[in-house]
Structures are given as structure tokens and as C-alpha cells.
Structure 1
């Protein structure tokens, strides 16, 4: 078993006082190979030491003895819709609903309060094609490793919020939080690359919402894709 200890920086928050779900899922799945399914069991706390245990059977993240999330190998059968160009995604992002109504405006991925080189500033807006949302994304150099490649947990992060804005409830008193993310990240990108993030609705069952998302490069190649399960919660419990 491999054991790693780390803390989630305040920079990588989603809701207040909690790590961004996609980022945390990416950290939990960091030592697994191929497609992984990650289930979050509790809000991932910020700036405290966490323990990640990884074995051949999967991975589990703990705060002391409290299970925060767990991951295992999975299959992902997900067809990605036709992806708009970078310029088309730029135009779509102007209609991002989060500019006017956002449950977590300080989110690392999609928060409009975050500055360039701090948050990802991925703002998915309607494309006009069957509920598809899209956003442009140029990853910052602070997200890259020594070789200049974007670290996988930031691709997981981008997959997370992009899907959320394809299914976000309209009620102001309701938010959705990530319950499960199954992701395949076979490609790699460098900082400064022009990317397009897309999200689309897959269905709903009561308080559960299902979304697909993908990250593509300038050539339209799918770099990463994911299927997410989102849970409706009262917005008041996060503030």
C-alpha cells in the first residue's frame, strides 16, 4: 500500500471551506491507472492534513479516521457531442449564468470572483445545441509540472464544474454538489494551450442529476471525459 499525506490548499476550494470536488477526485485517483470512479463521502476540508491510501484495489482519502472519498477502476461508455471551436466557445461563455447567479462565486474552477492565474475561470455558457454548454480554457503555467504538462487533477477539476452548469437547478435556494465522478484522462496538454470544455445533461432521478463533460484541444481531440453524479442540497448549509 502506498500512503501519501497532503492538505488541500485554500486556492483549490469549491464551496466555502471545502475542496473543489473535481480537484479532490483527481488527487484521490492520482495513483490509479486508466479510468477511475471516485465517490465523495464527506466535504473535503481545507488546510488540514489528509491521508491517501492507494493499493491494487483502489484508493481512499481520510481525515484521521473519517473517510472523505474512495476510488476504484471503472469503465466509461460516454459519447461526446460535436464540440464547438475555441472561438465559438468564447462566444458561448458570455452567457454564463454564474456571472449573475452563482452558488459558490469563489470556486477554483468556475468562480467569477477568482483572478487570472488563480482560478481556472472556466465559464460554460449555452451553445444553442440541445443543452450543450461550452467554455474556452487556457491553462495557466502554475498548473503544470516540471515538463510543462498540466497535472491531471486540474483536468479532473475542469471536467467537474463544466458538467454542473449543464444541469444547475434554477431555484436560488438550491445548490448541487459532486457526489461521484468517473473520469478518463488519456491525453495531456501544456500550459498556454487553447482548449474547449463542454458539458451536457444526461438525466435526473429525484435529487440526483447526471452530466457528461469533456475537454478537447484545438484539433477537436478529446483529452479527457467524465460522467458525474450531482446531489441537490440546500444552499444555506454551505454558507
Structure 2
């Protein structure tokens, strides 16, 4: 993906929060990934602050996001292969979403992506529920017009966002701990139109102590698999 205009700063509006005082990890990763061509891996070094001018600085093989000289995140080109599940069904995803565990307990209920306290058109309201006993979850999503560019295509940072939180619901909730995104890699394969019926699928790959490794994929009824991602989640004691 080529970009003619390069920003010097990124500002994360409060609308795009994950936890109350920091940006949603997938959204921030997507904003930073826009400075790097192709498939991108973003590592978050610390919670991205809200309503703050963050500097984007080019480094070898990528870019770095800084807050007053302190590294917040880094983005670099990457490659990965991922075996995808069977194509999901939108109506089945709607039924699964009724069992979204975030309706009963949510560490960050106003998260831009998965917070149940966000209104339609404000948050993405991506609510994922189990589709099988093997840990696969699915979430229906119809991106609204506010997420689109001039051509009516969903902007890339919102595709990164949509691939973020469902991964955190693909493994059992750790006792007494929230989970935060530590790293995300995304391959954007095809554009997604606003108001297009989509399903996000998530599944756990493995875990290692307090780290959880997941995969997510976004499927459009009209275009098939449009975006795929890998993520590393970190347990944070609350």
C-alpha cells in the first residue's frame, strides 16, 4: 500500500480508547501501520496515550511512534502464513454474539471495538461468541458509513481495529487479570465496503505463561477473506 502524504504526528482521539486512558491497540497499530507498505507487524511498548501529539519517526525497515522521546510502538514489514477456517455464516455469527461474555463482565466496557457501553455509530460494537468447543469465536459486523473513505471503503485502521479484540475472546478469561494487545500483524487482502455484511473469526493458537497467541480473520459476504491477523496478548493484573 503506497502513501503519498506522510504525517509527522498521530493524535488518538478519546473516541478510540481501549482502556479508559489509552488508545485501542488495534486502532493505534493500524494508524502506525499506514506508514509501512505491505503486511505489517506492530509492537506496542506501552499504552498509547489519548489526546496527545505523538511523533512518527522513520527508522531502518519501519517507523517508530514516540511520546516526548519515549517509544510507544514500532511498525515493520513482515510476512506470515495462516491456515484459515471454513467460511463463516453471518446469521450463525449473529446467534453466537448473543453469548458474548463481555455483556456480563468487561474490563473496558467503553472500548472502541468491543465495549458494550458504546452506542451504534460511535463504537464498532464487535461482540464475539463461541461457534465451537475448540475455542473458535465469531462476530457479525456491518461497518457504518463513518468508517469509510471518499470511495466508501472502510479505512485501514478500522480493519486493524476489527481484527484486534475478537482474539482476546478466543481463550478463557484469565482469573483476576485483564489482557492487553502486545503485538499485532495484519495482511490486508481486499477492500471492505461500508454497510457490507462481514464476520470476524478468532481462534487461539497457543499460550506461554501470561502470553496468549491468537489469529483473527475478516470475511465479507461479497469478497471473501479480506484481512487476516496474528496477535500476542499479555495478561495484566487488575
Q: TM-score range by the shorter chain?
A: over 0.9
The structural deviation recorded for 1:168 is 4.4
In 1, Cα distance between the equivalents of 2:98 and 2:87?
17
Structure 1 segments, 4+ long, off by >3 Å, are none
Name the counterpart of 2:26. Answer: 22
Contact 2:88-2:219 within 8 A present in 1 as well: no
Q: How does 1:133-212 map to 2 (within 5 A)?
A: 133-171=137-175, 173-212=176-215
For the residues of structure 2 that align with 1:193 and 1:220, how far apart are their CA atoms?
10
**Whole-Å Cα distance in 2 between the matches of residues 182 and 33 of structure 1?**
13
Query: 5 Å matches for 1:1-239?
Result: 2-54=6-58, 57-171=61-175, 173-219=176-222, 221-235=224-238
Specify the SS of the correspondent of 1:22: helix
Unaligned runs of 5+ in 1: none
Q: How large is the RMSD of aligned CA atoms in angstroms?
A: 1.5
Given that residues 43 and 74 in structure 2 are in contact (C-alpha distance below 8 angstroms), is that contact kept between their aligned partners in structure 1?
A: yes
What SS is found at the alignment partner of 1:139?
coil
Whether contact under 8 Å (1:3, 1:53) holds in the other structure is no
Judge which range, 2-11 or 148-157, deviates more: 2-11
Deviation at 1:145, TM superposition (A): 0.8
Check conservation: 1:3, 1:54, Cα contact below 8 A: no
In the alignment, is the contact (CA less than 8 A) between 1:40 and 1:69 conserved in 2?
A: yes
Aligned residues: 234
TM-score between the two structures when normalised by the length of structure 1? 0.94
Q: Specify the SS of the correspondent of 2:30.
A: helix
Question: Aligned to 1:72, what secondary structure does the other structure show?
Answer: strand
User: Any unmatched runs of 5+ in structure 2?
Assistant: 1-5
What SS is found at the alignment partner of 2:163? helix
* C-alpha contact (below 8 Å) 1:83/1:220 kept by paired residues: no
Report the CA distance between 1:3 and its aligned residue: 4.9
Q: State the shift of 1:54 in Å.
A: 3.6
TM, length-normalised to structure 2: 0.94
1:35 touches 1:185 (CA, 8 Å); kept in 2?
Answer: yes
CA distance in 2, matches of 1:119, 1:168: 24
Structure-1 separation of matches of 2:18 and 2:64: 20
**Aligned partners of 2:49 and 2:122: how far apart in 1?**
19
